[in-house]
Structure 1
Amino acid sequence: MRISLRVKMLLMSFIIVITSVTTIGWNMVNNVTDAFEKEIGERAVAIARTVAQMPDIRQQVGMEGGATEIQLIAERTRKATNVDYIVIIDMNSIRYSHPNEQLIGKRFVGGDESEALANREYVSIAQGTLGNATRAFVPIMDEEEAEQVGVAVVGILTPTLQAIIATYSQDIFIALIWGLLIGLVGSYLLARSIKKQTFGLEPYEIARLVEERSAVMQAMDIGIVAVDEQGQITFMNRLAKTYLKSEERNFLMHLQDVFPQSWEAIGQKEQINRNVVFLDKNYLISTYPIHVKAIYAGTLVTMIDRTDATRLAEELTGVKVLVDGLRAQNHEYMNKLHSIAGLIQLDRTEDALDIIMDESVDEESIILFLKERFKDYAISGLLLGKRSRAKELGITLLIDQNSYLTEIYGSLSSGDLVTIIGNLIENAFESFENGADEKTVECLIEIDKRHLMISVRDNGRGMTKELQGKIFTYGFSTKGKEGRGIGLALVHQIVSAHHGKLKVESEVGLGTEMIIEARKEGEMND
């Protein structure tokens, strides 16, 4: 069970107030007691010195019958000085005066007079017959100041610490209550203010939000940089640190130092999108001003590597597949043209014509087949380009003679089919080990009134059951290279979105066949 911030602050304030009041009160009582004892000690010493210098006292101490006169003098002085008692003792600790006349002639009580009998002057606190008292001891000398004849003791009763606390307990209790009330009210107001500033969230909720925010920011595939209202960078996610090489630069740098050519626009506190070259790389920079209660608080900057963005766009749209095919076809034709040019230079015109005719017949045959069987030129162009790329890679691409595809695909668009077919064939190309003898890829595409079926089979290295369960995961690639593992994930995504079925049949060392089945209406095929 979590305790709320408000309750925590109230409990903490209660403990602080109790501790503070108790500590301060205890120290104050001790300090006052010490000061009081020091003051009355000095007063008692002054009175005791006066009594010890009285001639009648000096003469009568130690004399038989001297107690009568000494008692009169002591009591008169006691009442005049408003002390609790004045006791005169001789060198045997026998009292010659005391407020309680019945104690005259008896031994002094307290046990702290021994040093005074050794001609020393001091103050002590001890328990006497009248209670706890601060007592001043002053030696009494004879009239010639040659010999000590007794001791003058002046005592002022002092209350104990417990007695002082008992006396002022009501005041202490009232002060404690007021302190608690003020502390609790202050804590309540402070807690309410903090809760208002944190939108009613508890500390653990704020911590969780910060952790979630950080996790989301770090997981994003774009660079994110946050700056304050002064343009100082306050946050960079993992990718932004990689782009900006923050390990080699000061993290808390100004955004102007990073994008000097864009700082003027960013500083205008408006949303912008522009290309920026930084550390020899081209980035698409977008800024999003942040306002809190209509007050500008900073800017969020996103960074996208244009190279990565272009590559991903090509993968998503199928452009890369077509470009690769055209490049391979261009490469193949260039080789043929070089051969023809060489034969002509050697005056082997008949051989050159044979190559031209063979190539013409071969290309005319495949082009005629694709035009008759595939009504969508994007699909025809894709297969033609893949055929040229296969020749470049030393692979035989066989398009099944039963393949047939009209322009009607149900919910699947032409772009979807280009992505599916292109990625399946490309994946088949990549299934072959280097140096393999016969490399063959067979492609079958057919459609009837209700069903569409696409099959791509290769005699490559095949896959284990474990790999078959991973190949459609975004980012997973058997090549283990960064930026791979997108094609088959896109295929799976498109097929699933159109309620189709994707089946993989593979055996290690024998090859793999991938089959896609879908209804033209986009429903799951039974």
Structure 2
Amino acid sequence: MLISVSSAFEKELGQRAIAIARTVAQLPDIRDNVGRPGGAEIIQPIAERVRLATNVDYIVIIDMNRIRYSHPSESLIGKVFEGGDEKAALSEHEYISKAYGVQGYAIRAFVPIMDEEGIRQVGVAVVGILTPTFQSLLKQYQGDLLWSLAWGLLVGLTGSIFLAHNIKKQTYNLEPYEIAKLFEERSAVMQAMDMGIIATDEAGRIQFMNKLAKQYTGVGEDPFSGHLSELFRDNWLSSLEDLNRSFIHKPALVRGTMYLVSLHPVYVQEQFAGAVLTMTDHMEAHRLAEELTGIKSLVDDLRAQNHEYMNRLHSIAGLIQLGRTEEALQIILDETENEEHLARFIREHINDYAISGLLLGKYAKAREAGVSFELDPASHLDQVVQGLSSGDVITILGNLLDNAIEACAAQQGEKRIWCRINGDGSRLMIEVCDTGKGMNDEERRNMFKYGYSTKAPDGRGIGLALVKEIVDANQGIIMVDTKEEEGTTVKVEIKRTRGDRHD
């Protein structure tokens, strides 16, 4: 601030000095006597009167040889001017300079003195005003500076408090490091999602894409900030205009692959701010749905049953072609009797068609795997426990039987599973035993955890986790008895709770 004040002050002094110098250069007595012998006696009194009247520090008149004709220190009159900044003035130039003279640093104005006709230069009028020191300026403006600083501090403090409050309000009272942490966490979460995520502003310009979305749309690793219509050129998403209307799982073909696309509008302080699109691979979603609903297991069972029937038909056809019709007939009677006996038992004791179909399917699957399947004669299911659906029972029973069949199929020696199911509406009990490989301590501890699997890489560790979830949700219990190389017994029991009674 002081530097700015000093600069403005010096500029003002320069303008004042050059105005006085112009006046002095026009005085006839000075113009006529500069450069003449004895001229100093006339010029000095005039220059001093003007100096005192105008309150400048010095007025010096020099001739073309730089000889002084006036000076506040009369001892310097008649001597050569040695400022070094007067050369241009001797060539008819008018200017202001700052230089160190006899009395110290000064703002000096140089104005040429011309003869009466204004044709020939006869000398130079120099007016000097000493520049104040930094300390003198500080002393002179001390009061103003203090007041300015006080007011500036008050205004700045008030403004900073208001600004900080406003910023805090806009950032939900979060500190900068907290905002940075939230941003990093949000980015990490978005990148970790197993679906493509695209965020747009209210105009449809893309603001964010996670790695999976870039992979699905083929934009590569480089940031993409174009419009949504530029990203999806060959399907209905290219003409999507109303981002304020949500939809879920609409199919869209992108680069030859079918995806399920969902749109969710985003609002900030009740104002529409953009939208989030999610992309899920249609085949992956279909596979997962089959896994969760048990459809995949039922399809596998039907495939196994069909395969078993085809084997029998091939055997029968071969015997007939060989003319061994009696043996072919005996196979038909044996198989029919076995199937009919099991089907009749299930039909009479299991009062649920979906569960009956599951048991028949698992029987066929076990036979295909070379595993003996025995359904306990004491089994009966009058009705499912209130609070459970047939789908829940299918999930529990199907997963237990699948694991038992797979455990036996991988084992040498006897391969046998035994199953019992009992239910009367108030209680459900399912017990499955196998002579498979059993489980070690680690497998026993982790068998109900999501994602844990001892199967091939395509095993996802979902089945038993779903069983545990259903049992826990209905306040049931699971008991597991296992021994390596000998087999495993799993027993599930669910009772109707008081909250389910409708008396």
TM-score (norm 1): 0.70
Q: Please tell me whether residue 262 in structure 1 is matched to residue 236 in structure 2.
A: yes
Residue identity matched to 2:330: D
Q: Residues 46-85 of structure 1 correspond to what in structure 2 (within 5 A)? A: 74=44, 77-81=47-51, 83-84=56-57
Output one character per residue of 1:484-524: Cα deviation in whole Å (capped at 9) or x when no partner: 2111110010011011112333333333332223334489x
Identify which of 10, 14, 26 aligns with 2:3.
Answer: 26
Q: 1:226 to 1:332 in 2, by over 3 A?
A: same
Q: 1:32 to 1:459 in 2, by over 3 A?
A: farther
Q: 1:155 to 1:324 in 2, by over 3 A?
A: closer
Matched residue, 2:246? 271
Matched residue, 1:148? none
Q: Please tell me whether residue 315 in structure 1 is matched to residue 291 in structure 2.
A: yes
Q: Please tell me whether residue 466 in structure 1 is matched to residue 439 in structure 2.
A: no
Report the Cα offset of residue 426 of structure 1: 1.0
Q: 1:221 to 1:37 in 2, by over 3 A?
A: same
Tell whether the 8 Å contact from 1:289 to 1:300 is kept in structure 2 after alignment: yes
Identify which of 165, 170, 173 aligns with 2:143.
Answer: 170
Residue identity matched to 2:133: T
Matched residue, 2:205? 232
Matched residue, 2:314? 338
Q: Please tell me whether residue 303 in structure 1 is matched to residue 279 in structure 2.
A: yes
Tell whether the 8 Å contact from 1:266 to 1:287 is kept in structure 2 after alignment: no
Report the Cα offset of residue 251 of structure 1: 3.3
- Aligned mates of 1:415, 1:249 — CA distance in 2: 46
Q: 1:160 to 1:248 in 2, by over 3 A?
A: closer
Residue identity matched to 2:141: Y
Matched residue, 2:487? 511
Output one character per residue of 1:94-125: Cα deviation in whole Å (capped at 9) or x when no partner: xxx997xxx999x99xxx98999xxxx99853
Matched residue, 1:426? 402
The gaps in structure 1 that reach 5 residues or longer are 1-21, 61-68, 89-96, 137-152
Report the Cα offset of residue 404 of structure 1: 3.4
- Aligned mates of 1:85, 1:251 — CA distance in 2: 72
Report the Cα offset of residue 28 of structure 1: 4.0
Matched residue, 1:368? 344
Residue identity matched to 1:270: R
Tell whether the 8 Å contact from 1:285 to 1:304 is kept in structure 2 after alignment: yes
Tell whether the 8 Å contact from 2:435 to 2:486 is kept in structure 1 after alignment: yes
Partner secondary structure for residue 431 of structure 1: helix
Matched residue, 1:94? none
Tell whether the 8 Å contact from 1:259 to 1:276 is kept in structure 2 after alignment: no
Report the Cα offset of residue 227 of structure 1: 2.6
- Aligned mates of 2:154, 2:272 — CA distance in 1: 40
Residue identity matched to 2:465: A
Residue identity matched to 1:244: T
Residue identity matched to 1:230: A
- Aligned mates of 2:37, 2:223 — CA distance in 1: 94
Residue identity matched to 1:125: Y
Matched residue, 1:442? 418
Matched residue, 1:499? 475
Q: 1:501 to 1:157 in 2, by over 3 A?
A: same
Report the Cα offset of residue 200 of structure 1: 6.1
Residue identity matched to 2:100: I
Report the Cα offset of residue 418 of structure 1: 0.9
Q: 1:500 to 1:183 in 2, by over 3 A?
A: same
Matched residue, 1:454? 430
- Aligned mates of 1:86, 1:237 — CA distance in 2: 79
Partner secondary structure for residue 258 of structure 2: strand
- Aligned mates of 1:276, 1:123 — CA distance in 2: 79
Report the Cα offset of residue 161 of structure 1: 1.9
Tell whether the 8 Å contact from 1:266 to 1:272 is kept in structure 2 after alignment: no
Q: Residues 324-403 of structure 1 correspond to what in structure 2 (within 5 A)? A: 324-403=300-379
- Aligned mates of 2:346, 2:165 — CA distance in 1: 75
Residue identity matched to 2:145: I
- Aligned mates of 1:154, 1:243 — CA distance in 2: 82
Report the Cα offset of residue 176 of structure 1: 3.8
Output one character per residue of 1:413-458: Cα deviation in whole Å (capped at 9) or x when no partner: 3221111010011122333575744433332334589754322233
Output one character per residue of 1:229-280: Cα deviation in whole Å (capped at 9) or x when no partner: 3333322345434433443787334433426432376324533453222233
Report the Cα offset of residue 350 of structure 1: 0.7
Q: 1:275 to 1:421 in 2, by over 3 A?
A: same
Residue identity matched to 1:80: V
Q: 1:508 to 1:244 in 2, by over 3 A?
A: farther
Partner secondary structure for residue 164 of structure 1: helix
Matched residue, 2:123? none
Partner secondary structure for residue 515 of structure 1: strand
Identity of counterpart residues, as a percentage? 45
Tell whether the 8 Å contact from 2:17 to 2:128 is kept in structure 1 after alignment: no
Q: 1:416 to 1:27 in 2, by over 3 A?
A: same
Output one character per residue of 1:169-221: Cα deviation in whole Å (capped at 9) or x when no partner: 33334444454455455555655555565566654554455455445544555
- Aligned mates of 2:31, 2:294 — CA distance in 1: 121
Count, aligned residues: 464
TM-score (norm 2): 0.73
Tell whether the 8 Å contact from 2:59 to 2:127 is kept in structure 1 after alignment: yes
Residue identity matched to 2:50: A
Partner secondary structure for residue 380 of structure 2: coil
Tell whether the 8 Å contact from 2:33 to 2:43 is kept in structure 1 after alignment: no
Tell whether the 8 Å contact from 2:426 to 2:495 is kept in structure 1 after alignment: yes
RMSD: 4.8
Report the Cα offset of residue 353 of structure 1: 0.2
Tell whether the 8 Å contact from 1:45 to 1:123 is kept in structure 2 after alignment: no
